[in-house]
Amino acid sequence: MIKASLTDLSMFHGAKLCPLWKGVNIVYENCFTFFFFFMPMHMSSFTATSAATKAEIDTMQAHLPDEWPDAPEITSEAAILVDIDTDTILYAKNATSSMYPASTTKLMTAYLTLSNTSLDDIVTFSKNSIYSLPSGSSHIGMHIGESLSVRDCLYGLLLPSANEVATALAEHVSGSVSSFVELMNSTAVSLGCVNTNFANANGLQDPNHMTCAYDLYRIMLGCLQYSDFISISSTPAYYRKADSILDRDIPMGTTNKLIKKDSDYYTPFVVCGKTGWTEEAGRCLVTYASKDGRNLICVTMNTEDPNQYKDTIQLFNYGFDHFSVAKASEQDLTYSTQALISNSPLGLSEQNSSFLTLDSASRITVPDTVSLDDLTRRPITNEDGTHMLSYELHGYPLGTAMIINQVAQDTSDLYVASGNSLSDVLQTKPFHEIKIWLVACMLAVIILIILLVVFLIRYKKMNKNNRQTPPNHQYRMQ
């Protein structure tokens, strides 16, 4: 409203604002920027969602920016590559299409086992867990009534991909496979999956057992919350020795050639993953890799052996070679308070420049074809009242940075720690400094408004006097 009224006053000086109006306009712009960042942003129309929808992912696949680095050709029917530090999709092919997951299903079984049990819990193998398996199914040779610790079961589940272990864990967690399947499907929704329906705990062929590449990424992301998952699934070979629980040894080796050093497809930066195969599903592979401080997840589905490894390696090389991650708090000064103060016409001191910061943990993915400065910043207010900037390339999301009000954070900590009253807190140095700045801005605006009013009064008075004075030719002598 203020800006509109000041612009309307330009009629007194033709099409352009005089220096006075320009000064008022500059102050307005700086004050607006200040209040945007330091006052509550509940009026913002932007909201952040916890996970992308299927439609959003499909749209992103179909509308990559023109500057996006050229991706390699792969044979997998579906695939996705995600930078998990920024939750940025670097590559996607049929990422939300329904696919058979085969034994990559066991990632969800592992996730629910880690979420609901202790590694030292004892799992007993039922008749159903042993005899429900088809001939030729992968297993570790367990018998009815035998027991293993959850830890040993997880090794059997994730390395040799034992199907009887998956069923036994399902029964241990939920009492029955059917109850566990219900838990799998409800958990899939909570993890942000968009197109998943599980029918069993091991991934054996079932026409109703479907998921997609994007959902396997979300499930793998959940698994990585557990350090035990990483340590177990990254192990090439495990030798389970006889003990009081089971009096026989069980050797277990991984089916994942990316982490086997004697394999032609061994890749040093690959940390862990899970393989899958049935005739209907083809070769599937979900992999986590870490290199130079960056972390990626790759999913490939339905291809022929050994293309699951070739495709995964190609996609990882693409992600690591053609994208970098910027630390927003250090590399983006566009919205820093120091920049706002330096550009202020009020000559304010830069000692207050710590009011606004970007979260030091925030990361932004930057393609090698552009720079951080080329990205647009979109302010977002989250449902929990926190605020952040979304970095985008022509609308394509590349990461977010949380906005931290340092003053509020510092004084909130002080308030909690000291037990002082709110009035005491408001007298502390951070609040005292910001109050001085606010008062200075307000005084400057008030002074300019007074000058504006005085000018208008004088201008109107001058116009009135001019209208009352007859033209000079009326006083000529005849």
In the residue annotation, 310 being an active-site residue is answered as: no
Q: Catalytic: which of 93, 106, 257, 274? A: 106
Question: Which of 271, 267, 235 has its CA nearest to residue 253?
Answer: 235
- Give whole-number Cα distances, 272 to 43, 115, 258, 296, 396, in Å: 44, 19, 8, 11, 29
* CA gap 412, 114 in Å, rounded: 36
Question: Which of 166, 188, 167 has its CA nearest to residue 176?
Answer: 167
The token duo for 323 is: 């994208």
CA-angle at 451, arms to 446 and 457, nearest 5°: 125
Q: What does 232-297 look like in DSSP terms, one character per residue?
A: HHT-SEEEE---SS-SS-EEEE-S-GGG-TTSTT--TTEEEEEEEEETTTEEEEEEEEEETTEEEE
* CA gap 233, 168 in Å, rounded: 19
Report residue 374 CA to chain centroid gap: 20
Q: Catalytic: which of 76, 103, 174, 390? A: 103
Cis peptide before 268 (omega within 30 of 0): no
In the residue annotation, 98 being an active-site residue is answered as: no
Residue pair 297/288 in contact (Cβ under 8 Å)? The answer is yes
In the residue annotation, 103 being an active-site residue is answered as: yes
Question: Which of 17, 7, 61, 86 has its CA nearest to residue 365?
Answer: 86
Q: Catalytic: which of 76, 129, 138, 161? A: 161
Q: Give the dihedral of Cα atoms 92, 274, 400, 64; nearest 10 deg.
A: -10
The count of C-alpha atoms lying within 13 angstroms of the C-alpha of 23, restricted to the half-sphere facing its C-beta, is: 14
Active site residues: 103, 106, 161
